[in-house]
Amino acid sequence: MVRGLIISLLLALPLPLGSHAQILSGILNVRGTSVPACGAIGSPCTDSFPGTSLSSNWVTNVAVWQVASGQAQIANSGYVHGEAYYNAATFTNDQFAEVTVGTVSGTEEYGPSIRNTSSGAYRLGCNGTSLTLWVVTWPSSYTLLGTSTCSSGDQLFLGASGTTITGYDVTLGSTHIAVADSTWGSGYPGLAGYRTITPTTGVSNWIGGDQP
């Protein structure tokens, strides 16, 4: 009963988008408590990107991805843009993904992606100054849905609720993009990237799951 009251109070707090899911995971993950499967509300999936490559939990689209110093990044071969999505869990259509962006510049753009399939995705990217939200149809169709501002090192959130797609710079707190789009209705949360130089940065601390 006490735990239920705490969770109810938590959900009422005006926390940054995605924070509720992370905190709920900590509340539920105690001895003797049944913890939902990764991806469910209150128990998001996470990846800190150890090693030198994405794990078998990931499927890549178009680009080749690599891991360096705890950051996932597009490798210096093949396509310079692409996504990767986490398919080791089942997600509802209303889902989110969060990442921390490295030291990006105008020649590199990284962020989260949602509703990924082999056909396309929604992706949010930061190049150090501009925050951009795109709908992608593979292999090469990119449609810009909205823009805002961001900075290197920021935590970015991308979520879907019905046809509402929301991109948010959690670190800045005041920059967000919200649009209505029905191109993609289901899929998996993941990553997005673009680079025109030898990769020097990427994304870290990935979180993805169902929307609270």
Distance from C-alpha of 164 to C-alpha of 181, rounded to nearest angstrom: 6
User: Any idea what the Cα angle at residue 66 is, between residues 39 and 160, rounded to 5°?
Assistant: 30
Closest CA to 45 of 15, 21, 74, 16: 21
Please give the pLDDT value at position 30: 36
Mean pLDDT (the chain) is 85
Distance from C-alpha of 100 to C-alpha of 98, rounded to nearest angstrom: 7
pLDDT at 148 over 50: yes
pLDDT at 36 over 70: no
What amino acid occupies position 105?
S
CB 18 within 8 A of CB 205: no
pLDDT confidence band for 15 (50 / 70 / 90): low
pLDDT at 8 over 50: no
Please give the pLDDT value at position 196: 85
Over the stretch 52-101, which tens digit does the pLDDT of each residue have? Answer: 999 999 999 888 999 999 999 999 876 788 899 999 999 999 999 999 99
